Structure 1
């Protein structure tokens, strides 16, 4: 008996008595260990523990009570249901019984009789369908999968007949007929906190096309679209193909001249739309107005701002369409409390910073702008013609410069050596003349190169200084 395999009353898989079911994780054990765990308090009021133990002792397995009413029991490969007193309410005449999705607070069972099929049985002791289905599965079970989190207050379940799938509710009424080819033909249209919501609308797939039904079985959108998904912070909108619909009013939100090409939940209610298959703009769903006309090659919504590109040049706009920066920049990135822009010049780029309102912080004349720790930036300059990484440092407080740092190349030692070399050059010129001989000429030029370089750096610093 210890190594005998029986059918799991919870999922229908074969499992050894006294072990854990490898399919659903339920513990399969004899009635005595179940009794030792203790009975519900309400049960002790109607029947003694000894009487209950005697009644269930004849069963090989006794499952838990679903919603405190009925439990699945089995002897060998025969299954039935008992009530809280241990009395049979459904005889052991069936080949498999397991629990499926019922309405909130109620239990619903799939009962199998080989040669006839599956039927639905409720906790009130009644069959609500006949044995017409080849399989019944709860939406949360995900046939062939590991399960999913669902909110299913209507008690919807998959049903299969002649290899075609449909949907049935907890009253035994077919919401969708068994005409669909795939077991995964239905999913929830909406989700909340990662939980699929089967309380209002369901998305249906048939022959690789999608449509929408409500949980009463009424068609909302026919199965003619290549894709359908919910949209919006409150999920009141639905994208079907390239069009946007208000799910409650069943009306299209976008005019037919537009096609939605991307959406951004963090910037709702704006969407990026396309017109005539090439040019893009921005449309406000709630106000039903065009924010930016469809004249842009690229439109990006980032950090509550809109970046638009025309002919390779980019600009920045607010979510209401007001211009912040014109489309004259080759590169634009929005970072923290400012906008970094770049303009191509010869073989390089000149970079600058602007406030989110469009006011200039740093002019576009630096070769590179990079972060240097928290709220600090390095402004590189003169990298091409000087050959060294000269840079200023600035510290930002929001979009304001609160601290400036001098370039590392300009310090006291450089000034000291420049003055010393200049005095040495003057001494040799006054003693021997500028063209005394080649050696003296080279020496004077070398000495003069040091102060000239220092003056050159000083002029560059003055040019790039903020």
Structure 2
């Protein structure tokens, strides 16, 4: 399962963002976000990205600071490495705050499918964990690999490459995002839909915006309102929300009348909309915002980590 990161990437500029643009983290991705969804396993080590004031660090599920709040910006940890930024340059650290890949890149995305997209001298390529260039920096933009394909931009259009750098889906799209559950959001003439890995349009581009599928449903935006569709394009939850993220652990955060709550797959309200902000449940906890500060609740709405941070992300598995 892949979760949208709340991304800082330029490629996600049109997608809704959970934090101000100067401190965006896929993107959701957000993002990915992805909207990237990551598998959840029991008894695994997890960390959450957090911000106090202007500095970023990482905490554990007890709220204990694991990586000090010293970075100008940071992104979630994946495949044992976290993306961090100081003095305008990005690199990677491990869970012990040791630098594993020097902070030399102009921009980057977290590791996914064993590779990370990085920007150097205005062009994007991909490196491995040892900093070896696997796909040379030849693209105007790039996002992460998922399901062995990565969206990349060349000549003003988006397509998809494999890990050998071969073009699998031609550069025909005005926007593109990660594959999740074998489908990927793409843009055609200002509208978005979903293609499969054979470049067949499975869900026609009828929507203003879409986000990747998670747990069988995808967020879609029509006329400024968000809802959810199934993989056959059928509307499951009618567009009525001001914002939303995808489903995770059977719940999705939604915003209505200026407040965030959570719904189930039938569109039924499970947690009433009362929070100033919210993100998805991962490893049993969800970040929410109360009185300008963020912390974590469980599905019983019990406060697990106090509201004391300027920003928190979900608890992702370290590896």
Q: Sort the TM-score into its range (normalised by shorter chain).
A: 0.3 to 0.5
Structure (1/2) with the larger strand percentage: 2
TM-score, L = length of structure 2: 0.38
Structure (1/2) with the larger helix percentage: 1
Higher relative contact order (CA 8 A, sep 6+): 2
